[in-house]
Each structure stands twice: as structure tokens, then as C-alpha cells.
Structure 1
Amino acid sequence: MGGTDCMPPQQVEPHVFVIIGATGDLTRRKLLPALYHLRDQGVLETQNTLIVGAALPEVGEDGFRLWAHEGLHKAGWHNDNELREWCDACLYYHTIGRGTDDDYAALASYIRRIELEHVMPENRVFYLAVPPDIAPNAIEGLDRAGLLKGRGWVRVVFEKPFGHDFQSARQLNTTLHRYVDESQIYRIDHYLGKETVQNLLAFRFANPIFESLWKRDAIENVQITVAEDLGVEHRGAYYQQAGALRDMLQNHLTQLMTVVAMEVPVSFDAAAIQSEKMKVLHSIAPIAEHDVVFGQYTSWQVGDQTIPGYREEPGVPRDSTTETYVALKAEIHNWRWKGVPFYLRTGKRFPRKLTQIAVIFREAPAHVFPSIDPGSIASNKLLITLQPSEGFSLCFSVKSPGRPFMLSDHALQFDYQKAFGQLPEAYETLLRDVMIGDQTLFVSAEFTEKAWKLYDPLLAGKQVVHPYSAGSWGPREADALVERQGHQWQLGW
């Protein structure tokens, strides 16, 4: 296969990567494996990246390195000598106790000492792997200690949720902007780090055959599904305060919708791409209550095993009305998409894990096959799969051999892993982008606030939560939502 000439990848400048909340599950499961894999790829070296963990426990450097070593070994790296060498050379730790000014001042002294010992410039990444209510205090503590200003660059990384409604998002952004500029803030949505999402831009804008069809004249509807096969597990208390709309739809699915619907950017950089995504968000019409379906999973009997319903999960009240499922129809009122419904749905306890974007094309305008019933020819579909595997399927009709004249449905399929081998995890892509200062795949303050503004009326309204059995694809009312437009949910090829 041929390649295309490209610019050499931007190099990672020497810096200190500080994880606030470093002893948590996110660090062990996602951040450390991503950082170590970047080291495997030659992106990170001892000379350019030192990692400082900071959290409440008094575990010390040796304890943190041992904990990290065990986590990386569990994640699949089994070369103990290499692991130990990397942990000893690159990992450091300092407690921040209860987060007082003195605690952050001590952390600042520790970081400056490391920078001096290794002749590092004052380039710093601060990854706030802490609950959202702690993040403002952490950023304030870093500022008071003088860590957000120096002779080098400073970047601050946040995990969702970015607020729980418009007012809280606006307040959070106002607080952040007191200490750092928007150009220094990296709000992570790990869905945007997936190769398939990034390739959707290449798929559209590098292939005119598809971009020429990417409009209301050719497309009948677009469906975005994020299905989870697990329940809330140990997150019952958190989920009770969030629900499916806040937890998934307001961020992940809305981001995917804007990537699908955006116009061609003037250039492939963060500002241009985020500008086009914002135009989509501003074009979405207010969503009517009758175009939204909420659901909550109930128990399911599988043989002699009972899968608990949401209300039987730990930390969940027995009379909870929190939704574990949401489906809605959105309309984008612009020249390209007017009249094309975008269906979004997400939920827990589905039959299988699936993240998919389905682009359904319009039927042929005339019926020319007398042996085939009118309306029985399946629409062409482009299925873009993000999970569990990443790839594309273009579905079309072909003539079956022999007589009578009949059609059957087939697909051209592209599988990323088969073509390129193991793909990088989303966090690898996003962490590298933070290190090189590329905000293309991150969420802006303006986007978070506008998205909350779009969905706040639905959260404030009276929610009717429909039951659905665990192991099903959601409540019957969600099927009716698409069927009344003459459509059906797509479940992959």
C-alpha cells in the first residue's frame, strides 16, 4: 500500500507531568499505562518527561513506584527489569496531605528541586485526576504555590463532568479562567481520542466521494448509539446524582454529533475545527419533550442468575427515578442538515457493548425492479464503529445469482486493527496532544456551556422514566420515537 508524505511528528519538549490524585483508579488503569506505552513508542524519554504523583496518602516514592509497577504488570507488561528501571528513573511522588497552602508549597519545592536536578525547563502539565468538586480547590492551591507561572509553559488537564448544568459549568469555567488562560486548559473527552473519530474527519474531507453525499439531499437520518453492557457497578451513588443524560449524552454523544455534522474547516487545527463544531451546536433546535425518552433498567433472570435492576444496585434508593437510558431526536437547522433527524441514544445493561455512528442514506427515488416489492430494498448505510472494534462498513444491495431477480445486502468493511495492528488507546493520543500543545481533540469552555444550555430544559422538565429489562435494547417508547418518522434503530452490520 502506498503512503502520503507528511510532516515529521512534533517533538515532546522536556517537562514535568504532575498527576494530582495520583493514587486513584484512573491513574493506575489509564494514565500510567498510556504514559508507559508512549515510552515504548519512543515519544517519552527520561530526558524529556518526568512524572510526579501527588495525592493525600503518605506512600513515599518507593511505595508509589511499587504500586505503579504492579499496575503496569497487571496491564500486560511483564519485563520486570525494564518496568523497574522506568519507574525508578521517571516516577516521583509527594503527598499533598489535606491540600492546605503549606501542602502545595511543599509540592512546589519538590517539583522545583526535581527540575533543577534534571536541568528541566519550567514546562509543566498538571493532570487533575480528582473529583469535580475538588478541582477548583486544586487549581487554586497550585496557583498559590506559584506552580502555574514560570519561565516555561503550563497546561492543566481536567476530566469530565464539566459541571452538572449550565450555571455550574459557567461557574467552573470562570474559576479556571482566574488562574489559567483557555489556551492552557485541556478538557478530556476520551471518545475524541479514538482513532475512528479522528479518521471520520479524514474519511469526509480527504474523500470527496463521501463528502459530496454528506448532506440532506442524500442522507435520511443519522443515529449515534453508545451502548454499555454493564450496570452502574460500584458507581451507584455517583450515578444517582448524574443519570445517563449528564453522564454520557451531554458530552460524548454530543461531541460525536458535532464531528459528524460539522462543515469543512478552513484548516486542520484546533481553532478551525472547534469553530465548526460550535456552529453545529448553535444550529441545533430546542429539543421538545416529546422527542426524548428516558428509561431505567429492571432486573433480568438469566437461567438461575438474576441480574439486578438499577434500584437494587448498591448506593441507589429503592424509589429512584434516575434514568439509566436516554434517547432523543435532535434537528440541526442549517443548510446542510435541515430535515435530517439525528437520533442519539445511550444506556446501561444493553445486550452488548457497542459505540456506533450510523449514517442512513435515502432510498432510490424510483422503483425499477418489478419482481421486488416496493419499499423492500434496504437503504445504503455507512456504519462507523468505535467499540468494541474500530472500523467502517458500507452497506449496499447486490443482485443474488439466478432467477428470479432478487437483491441481497452486503458490506464493504474496513477494520482498523487488521489494517494497522494494535491501535493506540485514546488516552495515549490525548496525553501526547497535551504534551505538544494541540487542543484539537479537547473540549472548549464555550462548547461545555452551550451543550448544557441545550439540555438544561430537559433536565428541569418533568421526566417520565420508562422501565426496560436489563439485557434489552431499551424501552419500547424509544423504538416508537424513531418509528413514527418511518425509521428503525440500527444495530450494526
Structure 2
Amino acid sequence: MPDPTQVLRSPGADPEVAVPSNPCVMLIFGASGDLTKRLLVPSIYNLACDGLLAENFAVLGTANNVWTDEAFREYLTTEIKKFHTRKEFDQGVWDKLVQKFHYVSGSFTEQKVYAELKTRMTTLDDKFGCQGNKLFYFAVAPKFFGTLCDNLHNNGFKEGDGWKRIIVEKPFGTDLASALKLNREVLANWQENQIYRVDHYLGKETVQNLLAFRFANGMFEPLWNKNYIDNIQFNVSESVDVEGRGGYYDHSGVLRDMMQNHMFQMLSYLCMEVPGSFEPDAIRDEKAKLLQSVRRYTPEEVARYVVRGQYGPSQSKPGYREEKDVNPQSKTETYAAARFAIDNWRWEGVPIYLRSGKALWKRGTEIVVEFKKAPAVIFKGTPVTELGANRLVFHIQPYQGIEIQFAAKTPGPAMRLQPVHMKFGYGDAFRGSRYTGYEVMIYSASRGDATLFSRGDLVEAAWQVAQPIVDHWAATPADFPNYVRSTWGPKAAAELIAKDGRRWHEVVTEDVLKQSALFRDGDPVFMDQVIMALEPLQAYGGEIVIQKGDPGAEMYVIEQGEIEVLDDAGKVIKVLTDGDVFGEVGVLTSAPRNATCRAKSPTDLYRLNKSDFSRILRDNPNFATAIRQVAKDRFNLDVKTESLTKPD
């Protein structure tokens, strides 16, 4: 099997490493749809640009649109300019490639179209020398998969020389029963090794790299178990809402759309046992065993360990129930968080947390592996009072890389520790264009490499985990909406993990932090120090964040929301909003709080404690100057820099 880390080579890589795809005629059902123009054609173009597409290759598209070959090519030529992912468009490559695209008009539900499709495929096979190899791509709704498989079989598309393979899109079923039914229909006339079930998340280089990271680096695999790992968190946050796809999404929801497939696939890669080889079935066997080990919940356990949410309106945007084509009383979840358990020797007792949602505070996909804390007893008698956890963070998107977080001694005579991190970024280490994720899928299917595709038993095992949640939610009322747009999600999600004495690890990035004027001009070292020191915090409407008279031990930065500053009579004298800072006076002066601050609405905050605050000020004089200015402008306080930077 080809090394999956080398499938999509970067420009300038050794040409002997990457072997072109195998010759074939690719028949796309649904060739006029969004999937084809946004992902499939740009992916084929990327393969051609990188020398990974066989010369003996042709595409036959079919859909209801009445187009000729030339009209189809003109349509694709217009669309590729919008959706290609390369830094520069290579007109020469496209001009050659587009001549390989052909088209047949007709409905795939009608038998008469198959005779013409078969004739055209035979003609193209002869013309381009594709050796009888046929790749069928079902870019249509899953309810048609069985019909297409039957029609291809009944009309003789499996006959002749060469291999015949089918790629099907998610969702593969909407529940366990429909997934089982779909598997029976697809496999009625085709073999499992001919069916390639796409999960485009597995086409992302950062997801594929989970395997390389685990099994190519001897320093980590010995720690990959319950003896050293405290918990694992999977986070898939989307800042966008349903974007006009309410009709589809209202019959899906985040559990079906994201968690049951993409997130369970990442979970299986990260937690599976070591396979005997990198052969496709060796890897997929271990993935199946892992998913079969995930505990199936009772209704009572679903209520205890799984949270659902639905976004409500903001001041300027509608809530989910006000979206187009959505039921005004919809119970469809746009957010889900869960605590899972893997019942095997390696992971017994290690909680696995998953969360995903739409209309959240940022876009980002991360996996956080949090290790058990080291014993602190050796630091007795030093300024170190508590040790933090080491974390390994896999950044999947939009930032792509791997980060290790640990503690280091700060410069100076005293034993003081500071959280620091080391980062590896794909963009820093490798040259290459941004891919759609479908390139490796098309490439691998042509070469018969099913490693990155789901097998029937994998799909069924994932649904066996998800089905009790689906059933419980269908049978119980939902208190929706329960979170505001652009926040971190419902309060119940924070409470879910807090019951275990843990918190969600929010991955803060520079672009998020720079929304506050206080940090906007910070240099990279300063920003790294702040990011590592900030503690995310959620406050809900009416919740007191600071009480007048309390000791001033930390300051706060508002990520999103509104904080009311109250006088002694409880009257609102000021409202702070996104990017504003409060609580800094108590930290600056070590005096008791001079005002009460209350959340007016659900608010996401960052908390910075006094010791970290002083350390960062010492290392960054410009930040100290900015903080002094805030104190002078807001409270007419003249704070000396020496008092700001004095160690505790």
C-alpha cells in the first residue's frame, strides 16, 4: 500500500515517491450538483496539477440537466475558477484536463439511460486506454444508493476486464436500522471490497497524520494508555450556522452530521490498538474493534453523559428555529457534547469527551490529549504550589499542526514554573497547496487502497453507539434554544465535564485574542505567554463575576457577551462588551474590588490570575504601559510599573 503521508506530494517533492492513480473511467452520478463542482472536480484538477492523475483517465458525468459534452465543459470551466484551492490557477493543466470530461443527460432512475452510459463508458475506455477499469461515484442522496447498485449490476456494468469500484457519500444511514438496510442493498450484488464509503474528514492530512504520529514515534506510544493519560477531548466547532440548509439539517442534526461519523472515525484512529501492518484491512479491523468497545448507553446514562443544544437568536441574526425551512418547534440539535467510555484494557477509566456545534465562537477542530499530572511533592518549599497537566494538541483545521504543552522554569534565581508550548505547523514544514480532502479519496480508490474508507462493520458499530442517544432524544422533550450564537455552547456542556473535576480545553488563537485592543499589537512571544496563561470561563445571564469588596486576584477579558458594572445600589453604570477588560484594578493595586460586575447575557471570558499577570508584565514592558493607560483612562489611577511587575 502507498504511504498515506506521501499520497499528495508537495511541489518539488521526489517524483519517485508518488505514483499516479490507476487508469480508469470515472462515472459521476449527480454531475450537476454542488459536490461535483465544489469538491470532486477541484480534487481531480489538484491531482492533475501534482502529476498524480493517470494519463489514461476520463470522466463521464450524468444528471438531469440537458447538456452536451461541450456545455458540460463550459459549465465546469466557469465553476473551477471559483472553487479551485491552489494559489494560482494553471490554465494549461485545466485546458488539457477538461477535454477528458464527457456527459450524458438523463435520470438514473430510468433504465433507458444506462444503455447510453454503458456505450459511452466503453467508447471512453477504448479512446483513453483505461484497461476496463471503472470507478462509479454516487454524488446523490443515500436513498438512491441501492437503486444505483442494482441498475449497474442489472445492466452489465460489472462485466469485462478490469476492476469495478463504487464510491458512496455520507450519510450512510440516518439510524442503525437504515444503515443496516443500506448495507444490505449495496451489498446485494456487489462485494464489500468494491464499496468505498467516503468520510472526507479522513482525507485531511492532519487526520491521516494521527496514524503516522502514533506509530512512527517511539516516544509517545508507550504513554498511550490509562496509566499516563487522564482524558481525551475531541472538539469540532463551527462558527457558521446552517447557511440556508435548514431543510436538510432539520432531518439530521449534529449527532448524525458530525459526531456519529467524522468524530467517531477520529476517535478510532487515536485510540485503536496497534495494527499488524498498514494494510487497509489490518487498520480497519482495529478501528472496528475500538468502536465495538465504546460503551453503549442506557437511557439513564444518555441523560447523565450526553448534552444537546440548539442556538437561539442574537441581536442581528435568527435562531435555528427561525431559519428557512426549519420547523418552528424543531427538536433538532445544533450542538452536542458527550462523555464516552472505552471498555478495554488500554482505556479503562479514561473519559473520552466529544463536542461539536454550529454558530459557536470560532471555527476549529482539535484533539486534546491531557496527561496525568506529575507529583508536586518534590516542589515543596518552593514558590510552586500546583503543577499543571501536560497536553498534546492535534490541530486539524483551520490551523494544521501538533502542539505539546508543558512546564518550564522561568529565568531567575527562584524555582518558578511557566506553561510553555512547542508547535509543529504543516505550513512551516511542508510546501504544498491546500487540498479539499477528496484528492486522496479518489486517488486511493483508483489504486484499491481502502484504508481511509469506512467498511460496513465500522458504520454499523458507530451507529450502535449513537442509536441509544437518538432514541432517548426522540422520546424526551428538549428545552430549546439553550445557547446564544457565537458563544461556547450551552451551560450544561460545561457542567457535564465539571462534574468530573475537569474543564473543556479551549484552544485560543492569536486572531481570537487580537480582537481585544489590549493584545492587538503584541509580538509572538507575548501572545504565546498570554495564550498559555488564559483560563476560559463562561458566565450566564445574571451571574455575578466580581463582587465588590472581594480580593482582587484576577482580571478578565471578554471574548463575547456583555458585562454590567454596578454601583452600590445595584444600578448599571456601564456595560462592557467584546474585547473589553475588567477586574484589572484589583490586580493592579492588590486592593479589594471597587465594583460588582454581572453578566448581562451569556458571556464567554478569559481569566488571567495575578501571578501570571505580573510575570507577563515583567517580560513585556509594552503590555505594562498599556495596562497603566487603561487604569488611568478608566479609573484615574496612576500605577507605577514597579508595583505591577513585583513578584508575588
TM-score scaled by structure 1? Answer: 0.94
Q: Which residue of 2 aligns with 1:293?
A: 307
Q: In structure 2, do the counterparts of structure 1 residues 201 and 465 end up closer, same or farther at CA, with 3 Å as the change threshold?
A: farther
Q: Does 1:267 align with 2:281?
A: no
Shift of 1:443: 0.4
Aligned match of 2:406: 396
Question: Match for 1:358: what amino acid?
Answer: V
Q: Secondary structure at the match of 1:58?
A: coil
1:262 counterpart letter in structure 2: M
Distance (Å, rounded) in 2 between the aligned partners of 1:78 and 1:10: 23
Aligned match of 2:554: none
Q: State the AA in 2 paired with 1:327.
A: A
Tell me: higher relative CO, structure 1 or 2? Use CA pairs within 8 A at least 6 residues apart.
1
Alpha-carbon distance, 1:465 to partner? 4.6
CA distance in 2 between partners of 1:165 and 1:70 (Å): 38
What amino acid maps onto 1:175 in structure 2?
A: E
Aligned residue pairs: how many?
484
CA distance in 2, matches of 1:85, 1:403: 67
- The Cα of 1:144 is off from its aligned counterpart by 2.1
Task: Specify whether residues 339 and 79 from structure 1 end up closer, same or farther in structure 2 by C-alpha distance, changes over 3 A only.
Answer: closer
Unaligned runs of 5+ in 2: 1-5, 7-12, 509-648
Whether the 8 Å contact between 1:357 and 1:383 is mirrored in structure 2 is: yes
Aligned-pair CA distance for 1:371: 3.7
Equivalent position of 2:436 in the other structure: 425
2:53 alignment counterpart: 44
CA contact (8 A) 1:361 1:380 kept: yes
- Name 1:61's counterpart in structure 2: 69
- 2:449 counterpart residue number: 438
Query: Is the Cα–Cα contact under 8 Å of residues 196 and 386 in structure 1 kept in the other structure?
Result: yes
Amino acid at match of 2:446: M
Identity, in percent, stands at 38
Identify the residue that residue 16 of structure 1 maps to in structure 2: 25
SS of residue paired to 1:134: helix
Give me the whole-angstrom Cα distance separating, in 2, the residues matched to 1:174 and 1:443: 15
How far apart, in 2, do the equivalents of 1:448 and 1:469 lie? 33
1:4-58 deviations in whole A, cap 9, x for unaligned?
A: 999854442221011110110011010001001101111114x321011111111
Inter-CA distance 471–454: structure 2 relative to 1 (3 Å threshold) = same
For residue 208 of structure 1, give the secondary structure of its aligned residue in structure 2.
coil
What letter matches 1:23 in structure 2? S
Is the 1:10–1:436 contact (alpha carbons within 8 Å) kept by the matching residues of 2? no
Higher Rg of the two aligned structures = 2
Q: Does 1:157 align with 2:167?
A: yes
Amino acid at match of 2:263: L
Match of 2:98 among 87, 91, 100: 87
Aligned residue for 1:491?
506
2:112 maps to which residue?
102
Question: Partners of 2:44 and 2:245 in 1: how far apart?
Answer: 26
Q: Does the C-alpha gap of structure 1 residues 82 and 331 become closer, same or farther in structure 2, counting only changes over 3 Å?
A: closer
Cα distance, 1:445 vs. partner? 0.4
Which residue of 2 is the match for residue 258 of structure 1?
Answer: 268
Match of 2:465 in 1: 454
Q: Which residue of 1 aligns with 2:323?
A: 313
Query: How far apart in 2 are the matches of 1:465 and 1:215?
Result: 38
Kept in 2, the 8 Å contact 1:158–1:186? The answer is yes
Contact 1:328 1:345 in 2 (8 A): yes
Equivalent position of 1:416 in the other structure? 426
Letter in 2 for 1:471: S
- Whether contact under 8 Å (1:57, 1:97) holds in the other structure is no
Q: Contact between 2:309 and 2:490, CA under 8 Å: does it hold in 1? A: yes
1-side partners of 2:435 and 2:403: how far apart? 21
Structure 1 residue 424: Cα displacement = 3.8
Question: How has the CA–CA distance of structure 1 residues 256 and 119 changed in structure 2, closer, same or farther, with 3 Å as cutoff?
Answer: closer
- Greater shift, 199-208 or 396-405, is seen at 396-405
Residue 28 (structure 1) aligned with residue 37 (structure 2): yes
Q: Distance in 1 between matches of 2:453 and 2:321?
A: 35
Aligned partner of residue 242 in structure 1, secondary structure: coil
Matched, 1:233 2:243: yes
Distance in 1 (alpha carbons) for counterparts of 2:239 and 2:383? 38
CA–CA distance in 1 between the matches of 2:314 and 2:387? Answer: 36
Deviations 1:195-249 (A, max 9, x none): 1111111111111110111111110000000111100112101111111101110
Structural RMSD (CA): 1.9
Native 8 Å contact 1:323 1:465 kept in 2? no
Conserved 8 A contact 1:100-1:141: no
Aligned pair in 2 of structure 1 residues 323, 405: CA closer, same or farther (>3 Å)? same
C-alpha distance in structure 1 between counterparts of 2:97 and 2:108, whole Å? 29
Deviation at 1:372, TM superposition (A): 4.1
SS in structure 1 opposite 2:201? helix
**Residue 479 in structure 1 maps to residue 488 in structure 2:** no
Q: Which amino acid aligns with 2:443?
A: R
Residue matched to 1:366? 376
Q: TM-score, normalised by structure 2?
A: 0.72
* Pairing partner for 1:220 from 226, 230, 233: 230
The yes-or-no answer on 1:193 pairing with 2:207 is no
- Asked whether the 8 Å contact 1:95–1:107 carries over to 2, the reply is no
Counterpart CA distance in 2 for 1:403 and 1:484 is 39
SS of 2:223's equivalent in the other structure is coil
